[in-house]
Chains A and B, each alone.
Chain A
Amino acid sequence: MEEVKRTSQHYEMELQSIKQNLLYLGALTEHAIENVLASLLDRKSDLARTVIDGDAEIDRLDTEIEEQCIRLLALRQPIARDLRFITTAIKINGHLERIGDMAVNIAERVLALNEEPQLKPYIDLPRMAEIAREMIRGSLDAFVREDCQLANSIRRKDAEIDTLNEQIFRELLTFMLEDARTIHRALLIMQVSKNLERIADHAKGIADMVVYMVTGINVRHQWPGETPDDVCDTKRQQP
């Protein structure tokens, strides 16, 4: 009896540890986005470099979490809710790692942009970055609280980012048409924007997984608008 109790306690601790590590990874990626945005707005190349250097820690944590999950799957053969939690954790981990890589991509573009005079005041980019950060934070909040409603609302924010991305694209297009010298910078900014958009996609992916974890319903390939509002109510029907 005692042995069983200790074992399950240990198991619970391992699940907790995965959760904590994921949150830490999330905080690291959020921090990376914050820094890369500051490096762009304040033209501080140093910050961009710390983001690039910081990716090593994100990668290390990514490997650690994955190993933790696989070890737990192999040794404990979890079922039902725990199994969903671990598979979700593996996928969220992948998303966060990719977000980290994209922050590095942006940082590299920012380094190149800072070499040249500023093309235009950035208005939409900070908004995009802010929304992307909110989405990461919100989706992880939803993960921690197992809050399906929150996850669903995060999924819908993706549309805002897409709109902003298109807006930036059109604006930069006019710059490039008017003056060929701006093409290099405009393309760099476009890549920054594209990467932010991809980050938001990954955040949405995390939110999708949270919905799956809580309800068992797969919403990954649905438009957020298509998902019925009461998708979260099925939680009550779950055993």
Chain B
Amino acid sequence: MHGKLFLKIFGSYLVIAAIAIGVVGFLVGNQIREKLDRQIEAELFAYARIVELAPVREVAQRAEEIARITLARVTVIDRDGTVIAETDRDALAIGSHFDRPEIQEARVRGKGTAVRYSQTVGEEMKYVALPIRKGDQIAGYIRLARPLVEVRRSVEAFTGILLRSFLVILALSVAAALFFSRRLTAPIREMERFTERLRRGEAPGTLLIRTPDEIGLLAENINYIVEELQKRIDALQEEKAKVEAAFSSAMDGVLLLGIDGKIETLNQGMRSLIGERYGEIAGKTPLEAFRNLDLQKALDQHRASGRPVSQEIVFGEEPPHVFDVAISGVRGVSGSEGKTLLVFHDVTRLKKLERMRVDFVANVTHEIKTPLTAILGFVETLQEGAIEDRETARKFLGTIARHAERLNRLVEDLLTISNIELGEMRFCFESVALSGIVQSVMHILHVKAQEKRIDLAAEIPDGLPPIRADRDRLSQILINVLDNAVKFTPEGGRVRLSAAAAGDEVLLRIADTGIGVPRDEIGRLGERFYRVDKTRSRELGGTGLGLSIVKHLMAAHRGRMEIESQLGRGTTVSLYFPVFRDTSA
């Protein structure tokens, strides 16, 4: 870089210097040559003119003398061109000189000059010839010749001066070129290093070139561009990070299909939604990956219509997952035209809830309809005349009352649940000592237990910490659980209520020797209207909501319920209540 620029500058200096010296040399050299030439010519003519009018013979005789005076070679030729005298001995043998151009010129014009290279002298010679007249007649010619050594020497000397000055210029231009190329390349080299750092992706910093010329402006522009670039890169990276974060942390699964219909990218959400079941799906078509007919049909539909398609699709066999799949084309992003975006939203839970809601309505309707049908049936029979028979009428009215009571209980239970769920039930939590509540509850259930000859007893140890509870709700919980226990325990069985402190909680345990619950159905006991044995429960006057209410109330108390059971041997319900802590103190 440095060398090249130096050579360029140096070279241009050199060319300019050479041209200048060449032109000067040519012009001045010519001038010198011409001037000397003319001087010699004039001198020779002047000498020649002296002898112009002398008789030829005399001139010829005194040729040597003339030659000595004029420092020239003298040749005297007669009218026909025969050499009469010649001071240069070597040339004596030469014959007629008549055809020489200077002689011819002298004959025609009165004087003649010529420059010729003389073999004998080995030098350029200047020839000057004049006719020697005798009256009007030309009697002969005198020719003076002098070598142009002087001219050559002068020109040579001049050329030498030129060459020396050229050498000086050469040295000067090397220095100047070095200086200017340094000065020019230093900032350029700095810019080069700067852009190199930029290319390697390192932080380039700022260019520190503050000159008012073009290079300074260039450096300023580069600084500006780099700054702008950095800003844009930062902004883009931030944008990209945002998109990536959204893409990868979205709970919904996202698939991007390429133009060839193969899966290009999928996010973490998608991986966790589908699990390991399908293996690696990237690079496959959805059909290859999932082999799902509905998904393929939805994709085909999207491809045919070009409009977004949203559809619920069931995936996998065990357990089935329901996804709400939204298929849309990718638009407005260059390089992504023709790609397809699939968003999978897991609606399995939603579907289950929907199902539960539908089931609930069906259940409620059924529960209400059963007593209503009975009531309507008996009322109809009474209307048709049974009312006349007092005994039957009384029996019927009793049945109607019982069914109406059940309806009432059902509605009350439903209201309780609905209130808890809506959060409209007011709880008044306070410090409650278990023993008092248990006593009153036992009192209520005592009669019912005695009817079935069930041994019902409570064992509450002294010194139990008070629990945090709402008095009324607590007795409702206990009544519901104990009522269940009594209900599902055959005659002569036993129901025990015991209590114990367990860390931060107080454990109330209600154990019976009843019919028990199958192991795999224990989990469903808290569901609304769930009954292990439907007909039997209804015979016993249950609404199917008792345990569901208990579950809800326990949750409101920040406690929990656990159920253990063995079919045919009995059930144990464990209720955990938090110990009361005096927060006001």
Residues of A within 8 A of B (CB): 13, 16, 19-20, 23-24, 26-28, 30-31, 137, 140-141, 144
Q: How far is the CA of A26 from the CA of B296 in the complex (A)?
A: 12
Contact of A27 among B260, B284, B296 (CB under 8 A): B296
B540 to chain A, nearest CB (A): 31
User: Which A residues are CB-close (under 8 A) to B292?
Assistant: 27
Q: How far is the CA of A137 from the CA of B285 in the complex (A)?
A: 16
User: How extensive is the interface on chain B, given as a class?
Assistant: 10 to 19
A26 to chain B, nearest CB (A): 7
A1 to chain B, nearest CB (A): 22
Nearest B residue (CB) for A141: B291
Of the A-B pairs whose beta carbons lie under 8 Å apart in the complex, a sample of 22, sorted by A's number, is: A13-B260, A19-B288, A20-B261, A20-B288, A23-B285, A23-B287, A23-B288, A23-B291, A24-B287, A24-B296, A27-B287, A27-B291, A27-B292, A27-B293, A27-B296, A28-B293, A30-B291, A31-B293, A137-B291, A140-B291, A141-B291, A144-B288
Chain B CB within 10 Å, residue with most, of A16, A24, A26, A27: A27
Main secondary structure of the interface of B (DSSP, over half): loop
User: Which A residues are CB-close (under 8 A) to B260?
Assistant: 13, 16
A22 to chain B, nearest CB (A): 10
Q: Is B288 a contact partner of A30 (Cβ separation < 8 A)?
A: no
Nearest B residue (CB) for A27: B293
User: Which B residues are CB-close (under 8 A) to A20?
Assistant: 261, 285, 287-288
Nearest A residue (CB) for B291: A27
User: Which A residues are CB-close (under 8 A) to B285?
Assistant: 20, 23
User: Which A residues are CB-close (under 8 A) to B293?
Assistant: 24, 27-28, 30-31
Q: How far is the CA of A28 from the CA of B296 in the complex (A)?
A: 11
Nearest B residue (CB) for A136: B291
Q: How far is the CA of A130 from the CA of B114 in the complex (A)?
A: 128
Q: How far is the CA of A20 from the CA of B289 in the complex (A)?
A: 11
Q: How far is the CA of A65 from the CA of B571 in the complex (A)?
A: 63
A48 to chain B, nearest CB (A): 18
Q: How far is the CA of A140 from the CA of B289 in the complex (A)?
A: 11
Chain A CB within 10 Å, residue with most, of B260, B284, B288: B288
User: Which A residues are CB-close (under 8 A) to B288?
Assistant: 19-20, 23, 144
Q: How far is the CA of A106 from the CA of B260 in the complex (A)?
A: 38
Q: How far is the CA of A137 from the CA of B277 in the complex (A)?
A: 13
Q: How far is the CA of A15 from the CA of B287 in the complex (A)?
A: 15
Q: How far is the CA of A195 from the CA of B260 in the complex (A)?
A: 38
For B271-296 the 0/1 string (1 means CB < 8 A from A) is: 00000000000001101100111001
User: Which A residues are CB-close (under 8 A) to B296?
Assistant: 24, 27
User: Which B residues are CB-close (under 8 A) to A30?
Assistant: 291, 293
Q: How far is the CA of A141 from the CA of B287 in the complex (A)?
A: 11
User: Which B residues are CB-close (under 8 A) to A137?
Assistant: 291
Q: How far is the CA of A13 from the CA of B285 in the complex (A)?
A: 13
Q: How far is the CA of A27 from the CA of B300 in the complex (A)?
A: 14
- 6 nearest A-B pairs in the assembled complex, by CB-CB distance: A27-B293, A23-B287, A31-B293, A144-B288, A27-B291, A20-B287
B472 to chain A, nearest CB (A): 48
Nearest B residue (CB) for A16: B260
User: Which B residues are CB-close (under 8 A) to A24?
Assistant: 287, 293, 296
User: Which B residues are CB-close (under 8 A) to A23?
Assistant: 285, 287-288, 291
User: Which B residues are CB-close (under 8 A) to A141?
Assistant: 291
User: Which B residues are CB-close (under 8 A) to A16?
Assistant: 260
- In addition to A13-B260, A144-B284, A144-B288, 9 A-B residue pairs with Cβ atoms within 8 Å of each other are A16-B260, A20-B261, A20-B287, A23-B287, A24-B287, A27-B287, A27-B293, A30-B293, A137-B291
B291 to chain A, nearest CB (A): 6
Nearest B residue (CB) for A137: B291
User: Which A residues are CB-close (under 8 A) to B284?
Assistant: 144
Q: How far is the CA of A144 from the CA of B288 in the complex (A)?
A: 7
Q: How far is the CA of A187 from the CA of B287 in the complex (A)?
A: 38
User: Which B residues are CB-close (under 8 A) to A31?
Assistant: 293
User: Which B residues are CB-close (under 8 A) to A19?
Assistant: 288
Q: How far is the CA of A23 from the CA of B292 in the complex (A)?
A: 10
Q: How far is the CA of A137 from the CA of B316 in the complex (A)?
A: 12
Q: How far is the CA of A229 from the CA of B296 in the complex (A)?
A: 36
Q: How far is the CA of A30 from the CA of B287 in the complex (A)?
A: 13
Q: How far is the CA of A15 from the CA of B361 in the complex (A)?
A: 54
Q: How far is the CA of A23 from the CA of B287 in the complex (A)?
A: 7
Q: How far is the CA of A20 from the CA of B292 in the complex (A)?
A: 12
Those of B247-305 within 8 Å (CB) of chain A:
260-261, 284-285, 287-288, 291-293, 296
Q: How far is the CA of A26 from the CA of B261 in the complex (A)?
A: 19
User: Which B residues are CB-close (under 8 A) to A26?
Assistant: 291
For B94-138 the 0/1 string (1 means CB < 8 A from A) is: 000000000000000000000000000000000000000000000
User: Which B residues are CB-close (under 8 A) to A140?
Assistant: 291
User: Which A residues are CB-close (under 8 A) to B261?
Assistant: 20
Nearest A residue (CB) for B292: A27
A218 to chain B, nearest CB (A): 26
Chain B CB within 10 Å, residue with most, of A13, A24, A28: A24
Q: How far is the CA of A26 from the CA of B287 in the complex (A)?
A: 10
Q: How far is the CA of A30 from the CA of B288 in the complex (A)?
A: 14
Nearest A residue (CB) for B279: A145
